[in-house]
């Protein structure tokens, strides 16, 4: 029986399990020993089944060790976005009820502020990658501990916090299953089978985004459990991505559309200088992918671009390259373990082609927002939940997304979806990145604002704005034309490509209330 990482590592300790961003390689047997030692060390600290660990870590071996320890000791693991401000991090560490807090020295200032704000005892705070004042060395947890398999193993889970559109983030909490960790891991690894990715073999997964993202934990962790090698990146770079695929013969990865756009913008001689023939599953999600961007990726990489729709709360849908070419723009049909429907504001199920709020249900179990039954109830209609995305199903059951309800622009009573406009903006060769959102309008309620990051070599100017508008007019109905275009040196995105649109939009709404 294949089992999870722990059983596989015992059978094949010489398997290359992890390649860190600096190129350091870790064999499965050594990683297994350290993760076992970490369980023993944290139990000696007093952690019991059902307790929580919070981490503030970049991609690296310590993040993997914490994952493997938590998931075999029945703990909740909360990886925290290190781009948050110290008070935001402190809120999550406190809210998840962390019994241990592990932080990297790169984030020392924030980590110290967190420990002081919520009065964490020194014995619960651990530093990696260097010293942090008031923190113990992470090595103290493992030094002198046995590498033997811990007793009373039981499956743990991750508890990620949603970024949310309003208010503080909430932990998406699932009940502990009580399963043997290797049985649970085997079930998680089966998720990869939805995309046709087999267990074991010579498969290599490229971790292209920070570990605090749910999808990164899901795909990277499941790949590790399935016996694959994972190659980690620290800061995403388009050419470095191609180099790593070539160097390690990467077979699958998880990306977001912005990464596709930036790789496509590389000079042709750079793109052609790397061998990408090993890549078989380039999986993407997290934001609508402009049709033009995806077509160009398929032309370059071949029929290996898979898309899915899901959220931290669950999922979802999946579309193969072949299906997408037949139905451009779709995010696919429901997984075998999922159901999807589209409802209006009154909870009525809509007919094919009618735009409404997308709701999903997973047969594998539900979730709750930690300590927030009202938010949990508000996100549900019966057994189905939503994260606020708008879309429609076609007559064949394929889902098409429009946008987040919170991002939808209502101008003169007409619903306008920014993603469509952003997709057309990105087809202009002088547009490096783009964001569209609504700003106040005394007559229409909202008007369309576009913010553009010029492509390398292009200069922000009135002439460029006019050129871009001339590009859009024949492609979009007049009511979708931006009223104005502003330029920005660099779009506010995190290392995974997620756009912080509120940073762009909120200054225009200061002192005002949006309808949505």
Domains 236-367+383-404 and 409-509 share a fold: no
Please state whether the peptide bond connecting residue 375 to the residue before it is cis, i.e. omega within 30 degrees of 0.
Answer: no
Domain coordinates in residue numbering, the chain:
5-15+26-196, 236-367+383-404, 409-509
Please, what's the largest Cα pairwise distance for the chain?
71
* DSSP state string for 303-317: TTEEEEEEETTEEEE
Element (H, E) at 338: strand 338-343
Candidates 3.20.20.80, 3.30.300.30, 1.10.10.10, 1.10.357.10; correct CATH number of 409-509? 3.30.300.30
- Beta-bridge partners for 136: 126
Q: pLDDT tens digit string along 308-338?
A: 999 899 989 999 999 999 999 999 999 998 9
Q: What are phi and psi of 383, to 5 degrees?
A: -85, 0
pLDDT for 405 equals 74
Percent of the chain with pLDDT over 70: 97
Cα separation of 500 and 154, whole Å? 37
Please, are residues 446 and 439 in contact by the beta-carbon 8 Å criterion? yes
Cα separation of 276 and 253, whole Å? 12
Element (H, E) at 298: helix 291-301
How many C-beta neighbours within 10 Å does residue 49 have? 14
Q: pLDDT tens digit string along 231-247?
A: 999 999 999 999 999 99
Q: What are phi and psi of 136, to 5 degrees?
A: -85, 160
- Reported as a pLDDT band with limits 50, 70 and 90, residue 364 is confident
Please, are residues 136 and 120 in contact by the beta-carbon 8 Å criterion? no
Contacts of 260 by beta carbon, 8 Å cutoff, 6+ apart: 284, 289, 293, 294, 296, 297
pLDDT for 167 equals 60
Average pLDDT, the chain: 92
State whether residue 200 is helix, strand or coil: coil
pLDDT for 119 equals 86
Please give the average per-residue pLDDT across 204-221, as a whole number. Answer: 95
The pTM for the full model equals 0.86
- Residue 434 C-alpha from the chain's centroid: 20
Cα separation of 203 and 261, whole Å? 25
Q: pLDDT tens digit string along 368-409?
A: 999 999 999 999 999 999 988 889 999 999 999 987 777 888
- Reported as a pLDDT band with limits 50, 70 and 90, residue 83 is confident
State which of 176-190, 203-217, 280-294 shows the largest mean pLDDT.
203-217
Question: Is pLDDT at 450 greater than 80 in this prediction?
Answer: yes
Q: pLDDT tens digit string along 101-110?
A: 999 999 999 9
| Opening angle at CA 403, ends 417 and 261, nearest 5 | 90
CATH topology (fold) of 5-15+26-196:
Rossmann fold (3.40.50)
Cα separation values, 394 from 332, 342, 351, 418, Å: 10, 11, 9, 21
From the list 216, 196, 197, 214, the residue with the least C-alpha distance to 206 is: 216
Question: Is pLDDT at 95 greater than 60 in this prediction?
Answer: yes
How many C-beta neighbours within 10 Å does residue 336 have? 9
- Reported as a pLDDT band with limits 50, 70 and 90, residue 511 is low
State whether residue 15 is helix, strand or coil: coil
Cα separation of 498 and 137, whole Å? 32
Element (H, E) at 416: strand 414-416
pLDDT for 411 equals 84
pLDDT for 165 equals 43
State which of 1-10, 48-57, 283-292, 443-452 shows the largest mean pLDDT.
48-57
Please state whether the peptide bond connecting residue 515 to the residue before it is cis, i.e. omega within 30 degrees of 0.
Answer: no
Cα separation of 237 and 410, whole Å? 36
pLDDT for 338 equals 93
**The CATH number of the domain covering residues in 236-367+383-404:** 3.40.50.12780
Percent of the chain with pLDDT over 90: 77
pLDDT for 516 equals 42
From the list 48, 85, 40, the residue with the least C-alpha distance to 65 is: 40
- Residue 158 C-alpha from the chain's centroid: 13
Q: In which order are the strands placed within the sheet that holds 484-487? A: 431-441, 445-454, 484-487
Contacts of 459 by beta carbon, 8 Å cutoff, 6+ apart: none
- Which DSSP category does 479 fall into? G
pLDDT for 166 equals 47
Question: Is pLDDT at 52 greater than 60 in this prediction?
Answer: yes
Helix axes 257-264 and 291-301, enclosed angle (nearest 10) = 60
- Reported as a pLDDT band with limits 50, 70 and 90, residue 226 is very high
Please give the average per-residue pLDDT across 405-432, as a whole number. Answer: 86
Question: Is pLDDT at 297 greater than 80 in this prediction?
Answer: yes
pLDDT for 513 equals 56
pLDDT for 190 equals 80
Please, are residues 66 and 102 in contact by the beta-carbon 8 Å criterion? yes
Cα separation of 350 and 15, whole Å? 51
Question: Is pLDDT at 467 greater than 60 in this prediction?
Answer: yes
From the list 64, 358, 479, 466, the residue with the least C-alpha distance to 230 is: 64
Higher pLDDT, 79 or 258: 79
From the list 257, 239, 310, 247, the residue with the least C-alpha distance to 279 is: 247
Higher pLDDT, 118 or 165: 118
pLDDT for 59 equals 97
Cα separation of 396 and 405, whole Å? 24
pLDDT for 515 equals 44
Please give the average per-residue pLDDT across 447-467, as a whole number. Answer: 95
Please give the average per-residue pLDDT across 423-441, as a whole number. Answer: 92
pLDDT for 408 equals 80
Q: Quick one: 391 exposed, middle or buried, by C-beta within 10 A (0-12, 13-18, 19+)? A: buried
State which of 16-30, 356-370, 382-396 shows the largest mean pLDDT.
16-30
Contacts of 470 by beta carbon, 8 Å cutoff, 6+ apart: none
């Amino acid at each position: 029986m294949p089992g999870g990482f722990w059983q596989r590592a015992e059978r094949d300790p010489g398997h290359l399990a992890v390649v860190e961003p600096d190129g350091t390689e870790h064999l499965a047997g050594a990683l297994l020993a350290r993760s076992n030692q970490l369980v023993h060390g944290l139990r000696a600290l007093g952690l019991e089944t059902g307790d929580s660990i919070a981490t503030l870590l970049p991609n690296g071996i310590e993040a993997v060790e914490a994952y493997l320890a938590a998931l075999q000791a029945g703990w909740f693991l909360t990886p925290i976005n290190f781009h948050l401000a110290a008070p935001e991090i402190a809120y999550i560490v406190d809210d998840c009820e962390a019994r241990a807090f592990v932080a990297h020295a790169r984030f020392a200032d924030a980590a110290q502020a967190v420990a002081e704000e919520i009065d964490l005892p020194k014995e619960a705070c651990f530093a990696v990658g260097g010293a942090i004042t008031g923190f113990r060395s992470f090595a103290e947890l493992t030094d002198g501990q046995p590498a033997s398999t811990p007793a009373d193993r039981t499956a743990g889970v991750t508890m990620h916090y949603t970024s949310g559109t309003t208010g503080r983030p909430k932990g998406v909490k699932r009940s502990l299953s009580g399963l043997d960790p290797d049985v649970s891991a085997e079930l998680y690894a089966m998720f990869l089978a939805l995309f046709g990715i087999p267990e074991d073999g010579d498969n290599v997964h490229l971790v292209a985004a920070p570990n605090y993202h749910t999808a990164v934990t899901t795909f990277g962790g499941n790949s590790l459990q399935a016996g694959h090698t994972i190659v980690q990146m620290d800061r995403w770079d388009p050419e470095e991505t191609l180099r790593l695929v070539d160097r390690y013969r990467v077979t699958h990865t998880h990306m977001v559309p912005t990464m596709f756009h930036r790789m496509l913008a590389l000079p042709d001689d750079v793109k052609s200088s790397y061998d990408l023939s090993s890549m078989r599953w380039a999986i993407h999600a997290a934001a609508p992918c402009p049709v033009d961007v995806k077509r160009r990726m398929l032309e370059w990489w071949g029929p290996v671009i898979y898309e899915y729709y899901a959220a931290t709360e669950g999922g979802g849908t999946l579309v193969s390259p072949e299906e997408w070419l037949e139905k451009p723009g779709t995010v696919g049909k429901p997984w075998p373990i999922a159901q999807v429907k589209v409802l209006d504001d009154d909870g009525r199920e809509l007919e094919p082609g009618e735009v409404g709020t997308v709701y999903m249900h997973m047969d594998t179990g539900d979730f709750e927002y930690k300590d927030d039954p009202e938010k949990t109830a508000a996100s549900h209609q019966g057994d189905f939940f939503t994260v606020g995305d708008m879309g429609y199903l076609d007559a064949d059951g394929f889902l098409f997304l429009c946008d987040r309800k919170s991002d939808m622009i209502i101008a003169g009573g007409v619903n306008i979806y920014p993603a469509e406009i952003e997709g057309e903006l990105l087809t202009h060769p002088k547009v490096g990145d783009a964001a569209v959102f609504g700003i106040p309008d005394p007559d229409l309620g909202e008007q369309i604002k576009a913010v553009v990051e010029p492509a390398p070599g292009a200069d922000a100017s009135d002439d460029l704005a006019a050129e871009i508008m001339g590009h859009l007019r024949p492609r979009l109905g007049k009511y979708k034309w931006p009223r104005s275009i502003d330029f920005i040196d660099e779009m506010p995105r995190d290392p995974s490509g997620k756009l912080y649109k509120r940073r762009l939009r909120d200054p225009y709404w200061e002192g005002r209330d949006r309808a949505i």
